Structures are given as C-alpha cells and as structure tokens.
Structure 1
Amino acid sequence: MIFNNRLRDLHSVGCKYTWFNQRIDQPIHIKLDRVLVNEGWINAFSDSYCSYQSPSCSDHCPIILHSGRSIQVKHRFLYKNYWSKIDKYWDLLLEPLYLPCLGNPLSHFCNTLRSLKNSIKSQPWATSSTVSKHIDNLLLRQKELLDSLQSDPYNPNLNHAFKEVNTELANTSSLQASWIIQRAKVNWLKHGEDDLKFLYAKIRTKTGGTKSVANLLACNPQITRAQVVSSIIQYYQDLYNPTPPVSLDLDIFPIGCALPEVFVSSITSAVSDDEIKSAVFSGSSTSAPGPDGFNFHFYKSGWHILGPSVYRAVRSFFIKGYMPNGVKSTALAIIPKHKNAANISDYRPIALCNVLYKIISKVMANRLKPVMCLIVKDNQAGFVKSRVSTDNILLASDILYYAGKRGGANLFCAKLDIKKAFDCVSRQFLLARLLQKGFPSTFVNWIKACVSDVNYSIVLNGALEGYFSSTAGLRQGCPLSPYLFCLIMEACSNLLEGRGFKGISIDNFSLTHLLYADDVLIFGEATIENCQILTSVLRDFANSTGLFINYDKSFVMFPKHYRNHLQICQALSIHTIVDKITYLGIPLSFHRLKIGDYLPLMDSLNRKFNGWKANLLSFAGRLQYLKFTIQNTIAYWIRGSILPKAVYKVYKKLSSRFLFFGDVYSAKKLHMLSWDKICKPKAKGGLGIPSIQALQFAYHCSVIYRMYNGSTPLSSWLLTKYRSPWKPPLVSASKLWKSITKTAAVTKHCFNFIITQNFPVSLKWDHWCHNSTLGDYFDVDSPEIIPDIKLSELISGDSWDFYDKIPQSLHLVFDGIQIVVGSGSCLLWNDSRKIRFKSFIDEFYVDLSDCPWVDMLWHRRHILKHTVFVWLALVGGLKTAAALLSRHIHVPLRCSLCNTHEEFVSHMFFECPFSFDILKAIILGMKIFLFRPSIMQVFDWLTDVFSDKHEVLKAYKVAVCGIIYYIWKERNNRRFGGNHQCRYTVLLSIKRNLFLKFMKWKNHTELLELL
C-alpha cells in the first residue's frame, strides 16, 4: 500500500531500528515508527528530515520532524553536457584559447579554464531553468497549432509551422534530457522516453543523501550553519592529517617481485599524443567533475579545439614533473554508508578530482597496469589485470569446505578490517616502497607530484566549503590510487611470507591469505606461535604504513571440532568469534551454508524491486532495470557461490511480477507468459535476460577455461585437489566442484586442447588426444594402466620423453601430436583463443530453435519502449479479450477501436479498420494490400520492397513498432480510462514521436519526408 500510493521514507538521522520486543532470548529489532512523505512534500520541503531519538522508558523511538536549514548557498560551477549543442558556447570556448601561452603550459591551461568558466556563468542559456521555460513555451505553441489543425488539417501554413515547432521542440527536449540523465547518473536506462519521472526521483534521492550530513550535525537548532560546516571540515582535516607512522624501516620488508628491468624504460618514456587522447576518451561523460567543474564530456566534445592545448599541458608535466596545486585540488562528496547514519564517521568521503588531473594520472595508471601482475602476488585479486575478485570467494569457500570436512584440520580463518585504509596510508612509505620495488626515480617523482600536497574542499548542498591541506591518504577517485594501494598491501604479503607465517597446505599448494584491495582474509595454522607471527607482522606493517587493524570490526572463525578458541583469540587480539564471515559480500563458513545465510541477497533483491522505482518505470524501463541492476546483483552471487533452489524460485517469482506488473506483491494477477520464455536470447525469441541456470553454466565454463589458461590461486587449488573437471568427482567433493564437473561434461565437445610445454593438462582425464581421452582413443579396458599425471611430465623441450612412465603400447599416439613451444592458451573454446562470456551463454541455449523475426524487432535503431510491446504481441503476451476468454476470464469481446469484430491480436494488428488506416497513412505502400495484413506480413513486405534501402527499411520497422505501441495504448485508454481519440489524433501522436526519433539520425532529412 505504501509503494502503491507512491510514499517513501523521509530522509532521517539517528536510530536504524525503532522498536524492541523487550526479550533477551529472542530479541526482535525492527523499524515500526517512520515518517512517510509523497512527491509533493519533497518538492515543497526539500530540506526537511526527521531524527529518531532514544526510546527512554518506551519501547518505541520518538521522532522529531525538522524543516531543515533552507539556506541559499552559491552552488559550485558544473559543466552541463548540453552546452556543446549550443552555438554560442563554441564562440566562448574559442576566445581564451587564442591567448598566447606564457609560462608553464599546465598553469596556462588552468587559467584558460578559469576564464571560460567566468564567461559561461554570465550567459542566460547557462542555467537549466532557461531550457525548461523554453520547452513550456514551445509546448503551448504546439498545442495551439494542433488545435487549429483539427479543423483545418490540410492548411500548408499550419503544417509548416507545426513541423518547425516540432523540430525545435525535439532539439530543446534533447538538451533537457541530456541534463536530467547527467544529473541522475542512471547509465543503464536507455531509450526510456517515459521514465523521466524516475530520473527526477533519482535526482531528488541523491540530493537528499548529500544533505543528510548537514542535517546530522544540525539537529541542535542553536548551532549555526557556519559551526556545522566548521565541524565537518575539522573532522576531515584531522582524518587526512594523522600522526605520522612510528617508523619507516623498509629493511624489514622483503622486496618480493621487483619491477623487471625491461619495463623501466617503457614506463618513463616520452608520453605520446595517443596515450593522452586515449585517457580522455576512456572517461565517462556523466561522471562528477572536480572542483573546476569541467567533466570528461567537455574535453571530448571540444577535442578538435582543446586537443593541442591539452597535449602541451600534459606533456609539460611529464617533462618538468611540476603540477600546480589547483590541478590536483580535490572536492570531497560526503555520502552516507547506510540509512540513518548517526555519526559523521558513518559517512564515506568520495574524492572528486579535476579531469585534467585524471588525464595525467590515467596516463600513468595505464603504464602501471601491465606490470602489476608481475610485481604483485597472485593472491591480490583487486585492480590487477586478468584477475577476478570472485575467484577469491570461490577459493575461500572451497578451502573452508575442505578444512571443515577434515576432522584433524587445525586452521582458523580471520577477516581483518583496516581503519580508514585509503584515507590514512603513509605517502612516505609508498614512495620509498616504489623505489625499493625497482621503479625509476623519474616515475616515483611523478607519483610524488600527484599524491603530495593535495588540498581538499567539502561539497555541502552543492557548494564547496573549506580548503585544507593533507599529509596522508590516497584519493579513491584518483585512477592511480587502486594500483598504489595494492603495492602497499603487497608489502604486507611479503612480510607474512618472510616471517614464516603458516597457512593451509595440501601437496604443492599453500595459501596464507587473500586480498582484494583492503579486504583481508587470513588462513592460518591455529597455534599460538603462528598467531604471534601474524600479530607482529600486522603491528610492524601498521607502524610503517599507518594502516592499523580495527580489531573491534575483525572476526575469526574455527572448524566445528576445534577447541582452543580463546587462546587463539587472545593471541590474535580478535575477540569476536563467528560461525560465518561475509567476504566481499558473500557468506563463507566452515559449515554448510543454510538458506538463512542467503537472506542478505533476498533482502537486497526486495529493496531493489520495491518502492518508488516500480511505480515510475515503464515496461521498457523495468526490463532494463532487471537486465542491468537486478541481474548484476544475482550474477555476482552466482560467481561467488552455489545458490540454493529456494533462492532461484524467489528470484523468478519477484522478477516476473516486477517486469509485468511493477509490483512484487501482485500474487493474484494473471501472467500471460512464463519467466522461462523471457529468459532466452533475443535470437531465440526471448528478451535477452539470461536465466540463473544459464549464468551458472557460463560462469562454470569461465572457471574451467581459466583453470588451464591462467596461473591463479583458484586454478592451482582446483587442479591440485581435483586434477581435472572431466575426472568423476568423489562423493566428498564440494558442491561447487560437482556443479563444475556437470558443466564440463555437457561442454566437452566445445573445449579443445593444444599441447604446450608447461600447462596442467591431465594425461588420463583430459580429452587432449584428438578430442578424446587417451583411454577412449585406444578403447582401453583397464583405465588404471594410464598413470594419473600431468602431460607436461612427458615433455622435454619440444619433444616427448616417456621413459617408463606409460605403457609401450600407448607410445604410437604421441607421434602425431605436435608440442607447441612458447606461452599461450592450452584450452580453447570452439577452437578459438578469444572468448566472450556471451559465447558461453549462447552454448546454453544452442538447442533452442532460432526466432524468424528477430531482425524485424531488435535492429540497431529500435525503440525499446515500442519494440517490447510488438514482442508481446508476437509471443502472446498481450491481454486481449480473446486471450482472457481462453483463460476463462469474461470481458467484453468487441474490439474497442472498431466496435465490430472480436478482439484478437491478429484483428488489432492490422485487420481492424482503425489500425489499418493509420498504417496506410504512414506507410503509403500498404494501400496495395487487398486483404489486411498481419504483423509478420507487414514486416515481410517491407523486407522485400526495401531490401536495398537499409535506412528506409529500419525507419519503417521503427514506424510499425510505434504504430502497434500507440494503437495498444489507445485501446487501453478506451477500455480502462474512458478516453477516446480519433484516428487522426492518434496518427499525429505517432508522427510526432517518430519525428523526434528520426531527428536524431544522421540522414534524418530523407526520412522525415516519409512522414
């Protein structure tokens, strides 16, 4: 009821839970007391919020409603992407660039941006309100012309004026839409013409979140705004200026893998124009800008003018190593980590760097990226090319399963939390560590210029507040920071290894810890001596780097049989023992996970499905929301775990209800299509949403592929423990491995082996011998005569070396098999070295028949909002009167458009005179039909007639989809709204929509004549 009435919680601070059942044995904490508001309230009182107070003697928390501090502040300058479509903007851009460059090119370019910014601010078109007012005037003029055309439809002057207004409205609306999308930052929403309400709601939500930090400190009405701002600035000033580390003794840290000599010259070579341009055009056009207000779109759209100046400015930095403080100045956006943030520490600072700085740091990051895999241990999965974060989750899960099953396993697993990791790290240690790892001094000086002497301002209610320096920390918005932080954490890995810390070992495999940036998972032998080693390592690491462990937020767990918990906890200084640990968002445990352990996933899905999103999104918008938001959530869990069937069922039920009804609680509504029909590729007649089974299948294929073609801890563990995915699994094997072997069995024909020198192909179990196993190729009756060894053990250089390792009778088969010398993939997918995840998905659906009309709907120019309804019409998803009657639901059978015939899909499109007249008015060639065509007959005719005119064919395909969409819309308005429009009014609506679409095409002049 709350969501159906479009109510939502008001922004709040204070307690998360407001009611307690006063029971110790079975405590329940929930949020019963809340303040619900609608869209009108948010528009009228945009600064309002509520604060939850302590319950005192009650079991409920009192709520205080605050009006908020509605204080006008000078908002910071933000570049609007639609300015690049205004002619006067380009005149302003050219003016400062004509000035001669005096002094440092980087400083000169900063002055150019400052001058341009001042010029833009003084222009009337610079504000978005001007665009909105112009649209209102155009809509009023359009309505006047449309009313006149009702009585005089063939008046040439009226039609000419109507067309001009439509053209100008299309152009101006695109400016407004560009600004809305830029502010909302909803990158997954495409072609969502009816979803502007969703975007506006998203903007209001983001705005409310940024205001909540000021609300938190303004609960006391006697505190002035200046005091609020001062307290926030002081907090972050203290955060970024911590006490320096106790020591900087690099001698205690083993070097590990140093930078190879061959890369020393390449990372300090002269920067090319292509590197700079690549750094510019790889940035997101809608990303938030830094303090100067200019985003990547500014540079991209004006590159033909700005390019030479940017080249000179960036090259000057790499030549001189000097960066003005204004370039690396950073704005801090304060984002709440969770709802009801109760303290300033519950907010996460996000660094917004200037794009000019990002260009420079991206060039350096792109040079650093290729060498990371050579100098960082393979247990670090974060920000290193070709490493997958969820591999660490799978590995940890399988190790814990193995240790939990072993009765004598003497192991503990600990998750460590590092206090304010990126914000407090020592810059001095970083620079010294880079030199220790073999980086040339020139490159280290570049890094020093980027990370040192950084000044911050806080973004509060759209304004920049304060300006303070910093002595520590890395900015999480800087392209360099993830790589630099990984190098710092690598020092911890080297120290653990150097001190002899003991982890888990099996055969030739050993592992002490897993890392993803600052997420640390430790596997250790549960002895006092081993724990003392870990404690000393963490202490020395903290004293040198400033990265201290927060022991209150760290956890440890043990196998069920282990008894000396307290002694180990005291040695580790970790006093919280748990049954499961959440690592990178996925639960891990020594024990088998229960359905309740997956509640965070189901809660996350419920939160994403519920609320105002469903009410404000169209069918096409909900489809994209499912595809790019919900699917990403479920896919991450699938990559890191094996989901129970109960979770599958919940996901299918919620997804189907959300897509068709926008309400996950609509249990009694009629589903015309099964979810399985939707979860197919478009080429197979679906909507392109892969099913959970397809995703699981594809991720297992990916794991198998990477097992043989990459050297990662996961691949080493699986090959050491299980030998081959084509070896029958033992009963004691983990659920993960059994699932992988099932996938391997059905995809055996897709995987092909190439024999290389050092890759882990199994002699006995893998089908390396002419796409067969050695036993199958020779039809060996006794498989035990083939040794269970790696094929590489029979290779010496580029020839076979058997000795007595295999029977003499099997030697002949090796003569015709070539050994490939050098590195490369040894396992191919359908004989191809290049794979895409989509190819795994396609294999899952390979047995389904192809859809004959896929090219009619899903071409490059399709309008999703229209196309999905054509898809529904073709697959029987529209609730026509005849379709409802076949399901024993009695409704009026007469067509609402002609009131003559029964309402079937085939009648509505296009046997009905109402719909056929509209079709003939837009596609004149339809007049030759003696019998009124069906949808497929229309598409087939268009394909035959316009096969040599591709753009015209696409335009007519778009037009047919638009006609179907608007006819169905008119039908629903007549049946359920009582609103009747004549065919001419519907025709004008269709033409106006097509006009706006065709205007965006390059060859729109020719296409507009079709209308």
Structure 2
Amino acid sequence: MTPKLEEIILREEIHWRQKAKVKWVKDGDCNSKLFHKVANGRRNRNFIKFLENERGLVLDNSESITEEILLYFKKLYSSPPGESWRVEGIDWSPISEESASRLDSPFYEEEIFNAIFQLDRDMASGPDGFTIAVFQDCWDVIKEDLVRVFAEFHNSGIINQNTNASFIVLLPKKSRSKKISDFRPINLITCLFKVIAEVLLGRLRGVLHETIHSTQGAFVQGRQILDAVLIANEIVDEKRRSGEKGVVFKIDFEKAYDHVKGDFLDLVLEKKGFSSKWRSWMRGCLSSVSYAILVNGNAKGWVKASRGLRQGDPLSPFLFTIVANVLSRMLLKAEERSLLEGFRVGRNRCRVSHLQFADDTILFANFSEEELQTLKSLLLVFGQVFGLKVNLDKSNFFCINLDQNHLSRLALMLDCKALDWPILYLGLPLGGNPIACGFWDPVIERISRRLDG
C-alpha cells in the first residue's frame, strides 16, 4: 500500500470518527464501519421532517420549517423592553483586589498553549470549519499570530463578529420531537473563540471559590456533584426521622442560559469585585454574538443576540453560576431576616434553605404558608430582575410528613405539582430507601442503555 493511499484512508477514518462523535472507542481502533453506522444514526435522529408551530399547525416543508425556527430564535435571543432593576442589600462576597488584578494581567504564550492542548482536538467545528486539532498540530506556525490576537483583545476587549459567530444545531430531547421547544440548541463556535474562552476560563476557575457560596456545588474547584447528592439525601432523611413537617421544592428555570441578560451579568460582576477590564472582556464575548441555525445540516439566516449565554461556550456554565449565586445570596438574606427558616439539620442545627448545582436548584422550607409565599415571591423577583423565570409547569414539590389535604392546598398555592418520593436529583435517587428493591432500578436502566450503545 502506498503512503499516499494510507494517508487517504486515515483521513477518511478521522472524518467519520469526528462525525460519529464516539468517545468510548479506544484511540487507534480502526472501525470505520462502526463510525459510519453511528454517524448515519445520529443524522437520522436529528433530521427534522415536520414541526408543529405555536398555533398547532404542522409544517412539513423545509421553507416553512426554516421560517418557524428562525422566528423562534430571533424572539428567544431578543431582550424584551422593560425597566432596569437593581439588587441591593445582599452580601455579594466580592473577590479580593489581588485576584481581580491577576485576572486582567497580560496574556502569555504558555497560557495560550496550555488552553489549546487541554481542549478536545475532535470537538465539532463552527462556522470557520476548523477543529482544535488544526491549532494543536500547527502551533509552531500560528503561535505568534495567536499571541498578537490576545494582546489586541487584552487592550480593546473587542471580539469581531466573524470570530464570535456560531452555528446552532438542534438536538432532539426525546424521540418524535415535534415542537421547537422539544429540541436542545447547542452552539458550534469558532476555533479561535474556543481558545479565547478557555484561556479566560482558566483564570476564572481560580477565583470562583472566593465569591460563590458553599451551597453551589458546580464549577467551583474542590466541589463535587456527589457532595450535593449526599447532602440532599442527609437533609431529607433527617427531616423524615424527626417527624417534622417540611416541603422540598425542585425548581426549573425556563430557558435558563438563553434568558440571562448581559447588563445584569455585568452588574453582578461589578458587585463581586471584578475589574472594569475583565467586565469589558465579558461584554466583548457576549455583545458580538450572532447565530446561524443549522436546519437539517444547512445554515439558515443570521440572528443577532441581545441576551443569553451559549450552550457550547466553555465560559457559559461558569458565568451562569455567578448569576445563579445571586438567588443564593437573596435566600441567605431572607434567612438572616427570619423570613425563611429552611430545614434545621445536624448536631448544631444548621439552617439549610437551598442547594444549587449550576441551574439545578432545590429549596427546603418548613410547612408554613407564610414561608412558602415568601419563597415564591423571592423566585418571582429574581425572575423579574435577571430574566430567569421559574417554569412552574416543570417545577415540582415534595412533602415530608404531610397528609393529602395539605398537599392539595400547597399545589394551589405554589401553582405546581406535588410528586411522590423518591425523585431523581442530579441523576441519582433522592428521598427513597437505598436498601429497598427497585430503588436503584432507574440508575441501572440508564447504565444498561449506555452499555448497549
């Protein structure tokens, strides 16, 4: 076999491996037949044959489907007119001046190099068509240009629209998805922006622990998802054993990332001690974002965004964590003023009113109509100020040591459904008996599905 033919075969295998996005196949396995099947299966699952619009009409041709999708995203990423609100009187817990100064120090070559080689080389490409593999393999050729790009960004805080353009690919949340809300929008961003975001993220990781409260378990160094699950189980189990009445409220934010307002994110960063330069960088990352929608593989239209964080942008989960921390600080302030009691747990009877993991928030409240009304009001205020509205249709509450009459009254008060224990919290059971038959069935079923491919 000639070297030229070997190179062509290798390129074809890499092409199909990237399209298949199979993470569990060992590097070096030659299995292009598998990659073909997986890639074709993904394409068939993601293909939109028809779409139901808001009026209930079924659209079955590509032009009307595309028009409906573009209209939806223009509305989603446009900030509605309204008053400017501010939040005062809470403990912002700002980062130190030393940390703020370290965040906006000049970028250096080693920092850029480390960011590039930490990224997945086969990550899907954006509008530029490049994968991280290109930057990794051509580092010696492009490093001087990249250092210049970072120096310009450091001085101006501006990212041009081409660099900040992205494709939105629509992934079905369930089989037979028929409404646009049944699809999850994932952003495919340019290779250069991924590198910029990864460098900024490397700096941000080092200071989040200074300003994010311990009730938030996501994206902060030293905190693990398992900690949040174990703490939640301990809280619920102790409340049950005590015989005291209580309510657990699992809330769902409506389009959490998509509804974040840039001006309020900037306000939060200011209150938390981030410098004007760092805030200008964040504005640069958010203000020049534009989207083209991939409808069945074809890029359609360009949507200019005036709000929202992109799912697929490395920075987004960390910026959302900063915004979500404001809700935590509001709840803590309500505790301080004896407006919320929460649950008392442990030997020292520590008060716990909530736990957060990114946009996953669970609230603990005593059975008191006054306290529950306060909780509901706080959520409504948070939604008005930051645009993060609670989706009551998808939010649920769970009662501890309460009878059916209480459940019915609470359902009317909170405008959401009461469900039975156990529930799934961060992918693991909460509130059940771990030694009972069937307790781990949902987990076993998910693992089996993963093993079956």
* TM, length-normalised to structure 2: 0.92
CA deviations 1:978-1004 (Å, max 9, x no partner) are: xxxxxxxxxxxxxxxxxxxxxxxxxxx
CA contact (8 A) 2:293 2:299 kept: yes
CA deviations 1:732-787 (Å, max 9, x no partner) are: xxxxxxxxxxxxxxxxxxxxxxxxxxxxxxxxxxxxxxxxxxxxxxxxxxxxxxxx
Distance 1:470 1:282, change over 3 A: same
CA deviations 1:863-897 (Å, max 9, x no partner) are: xxxxxxxxxxxxxxxxxxxxxxxxxxxxxxxxxxx
Q: CA deviation at 1:316?
A: 0.5
SS of alignment partner, residue 199 of structure 2 = helix
CA RMSD of aligned residues (A): 2.3
2:344 aligns to what? 505
Provide the rounded CA distance (Å) in 2 between the counterparts of 1:551 and 1:180.
42
Provide the rounded CA distance (Å) in 2 between the counterparts of 1:493 and 1:306.
43
1:804 aligns to what? none
CA deviations 1:127-177 (Å, max 9, x no partner) are: xxxxxxxxxxxxxxxxxxxxxxxxxxxxxxxxxxxxxx2655444332222
- Give yes or no for the alignment of 1:528 onto 2:369: yes
Provide the rounded CA distance (Å) in 2 between the counterparts of 1:239 and 1:545.
15
Distance 1:317 1:167, change over 3 A: closer
Provide the rounded CA distance (Å) in 1 between the counterparts of 2:401 and 2:320.
36
SS of alignment partner, residue 88 of structure 2 = helix
Match of 1:412 among 231, 247, 257: 247
Q: CA deviation at 1:223?
A: 5.2
Provide the rounded CA distance (Å) in 2 between the counterparts of 1:431 and 1:228.
36
1:281 aligns to what? 117
CA deviations 1:227-272 (Å, max 9, x no partner) are: 22111111111111142455422225x1331111221211111111
Distance 1:245 1:251, change over 3 A: farther
Q: CA deviation at 1:329?
A: 1.1
CA contact (8 A) 1:255 1:437 kept: no
1:464 aligns to what? 299
CA contact (8 A) 1:415 1:581 kept: no
Distance 1:499 1:190, change over 3 A: same
Match of 2:427 among 585, 591, 601: 585
- Give yes or no for the alignment of 1:474 onto 2:309: yes
CA deviations 1:625-674 (Å, max 9, x no partner) are: xxxxxxxxxxxxxxxxxxxxxxxxxxxxxxxxxxxxxxxxxxxxxxxxxx
Distance 1:245 1:568, change over 3 A: farther
- Give yes or no for the alignment of 1:338 onto 2:338: no
Gaps of 5+ in 1: 1-164, 614-1011
AA partner of residue 544 (structure 1) = V
Provide the rounded CA distance (Å) in 2 between the counterparts of 1:224 and 1:575.
37
Match of 1:442 among 272, 277, 298: 277
Gaps of 5+ in 2: none
Q: CA deviation at 1:318?
A: 1.0
Match of 1:272 among 97, 108, 130: 108
SS of alignment partner, residue 381 of structure 1 = coil
2:207 aligns to what? 371
Distance 1:222 1:181, change over 3 A: closer
CA contact (8 A) 2:51 2:65 kept: no
The aligned runs of 1:579-618 (5 Å cut-off) are 579-589=421-431, 594-610=436-452
Distance 1:217 1:208, change over 3 A: farther
Distance 1:191 1:330, change over 3 A: closer
Question: Percent sequence identity over matched residues?
Answer: 27
CA contact (8 A) 1:244 1:426 kept: no
Q: CA deviation at 1:309?
A: 0.9
- Give yes or no for the alignment of 1:400 onto 2:242: no
- Give yes or no for the alignment of 1:565 onto 2:407: yes
Provide the rounded CA distance (Å) in 2 between the counterparts of 1:590 and 1:207.
39
Match of 2:256 among 421, 424, 444: 421
SS of alignment partner, residue 241 of structure 1 = coil
Provide the rounded CA distance (Å) in 2 between the counterparts of 1:565 and 1:592.
25
The aligned runs of 1:181-192 (5 Å cut-off) are 181-190=17-26
- Give yes or no for the alignment of 1:488 onto 2:327: no
AA partner of residue 226 (structure 2) = T
Provide the rounded CA distance (Å) in 2 between the counterparts of 1:221 and 1:416.
31
CA deviations 1:517-576 (Å, max 9, x no partner) are: 111111111111211221111011000011111111111111245563334334433333
The aligned runs of 1:92-241 (5 Å cut-off) are 165=1, 167-190=3-26, 193=29, 195-211=31-47, 213-216=48-51, 224-241=61-78
AA partner of residue 421 (structure 2) = D
Indicate the structure with greater strand content: 2
The aligned runs of 1:912-927 (5 Å cut-off) are none
2:383 aligns to what? 542
Match of 2:149 among 300, 313, 316: 313
Distance 1:603 1:548, change over 3 A: same
Provide the rounded CA distance (Å) in 2 between the counterparts of 1:359 and 1:193.
28
Q: CA deviation at 1:186?
A: 1.4
The aligned runs of 1:789-828 (5 Å cut-off) are none
The aligned runs of 1:739-888 (5 Å cut-off) are none
CA contact (8 A) 1:556 1:577 kept: yes
SS of alignment partner, residue 558 of structure 1 = strand
Match of 1:358 among 194, 198, 202: 194
The aligned runs of 1:708-723 (5 Å cut-off) are none
Q: CA deviation at 1:282?
A: 1.4
Match of 2:85 among 225, 248, 254: 248
Provide the rounded CA distance (Å) in 1 between the counterparts of 2:174 and 2:394.
16
The aligned runs of 1:287-326 (5 Å cut-off) are 287-326=123-162
Provide the rounded CA distance (Å) in 2 between the counterparts of 1:390 and 1:600.
17
Number of aligned positions between the proteins: 444
SS of alignment partner, residue 129 of structure 2 = coil
Provide the rounded CA distance (Å) in 1 between the counterparts of 2:17 and 2:313.
24
1:453 aligns to what? 288
2:164 aligns to what? 328
AA partner of residue 66 (structure 2) = V
Say which one has the larger Rg: 1
CA contact (8 A) 1:290 1:352 kept: yes
1:16 aligns to what? none
Distance 1:197 1:263, change over 3 A: same
CA deviations 1:927-967 (Å, max 9, x no partner) are: xxxxxxxxxxxxxxxxxxxxxxxxxxxxxxxxxxxxxxxxx
AA partner of residue 329 (structure 1) = A
Q: CA deviation at 1:195?
A: 3.0
* TM, length-normalised to structure 1: 0.42
1:552 aligns to what? 393
Provide the rounded CA distance (Å) in 1 between the counterparts of 2:203 and 2:260.
23
Distance 1:576 1:210, change over 3 A: same
AA partner of residue 258 (structure 2) = D
Greater relative contact order, per chain length (Cα 8 Å cut-off, separation 6+): 2
AA partner of residue 581 (structure 1) = I
Distance 1:191 1:367, change over 3 A: closer
AA partner of residue 366 (structure 1) = G
CA contact (8 A) 1:255 1:494 kept: yes
Distance 1:401 1:455, change over 3 A: same
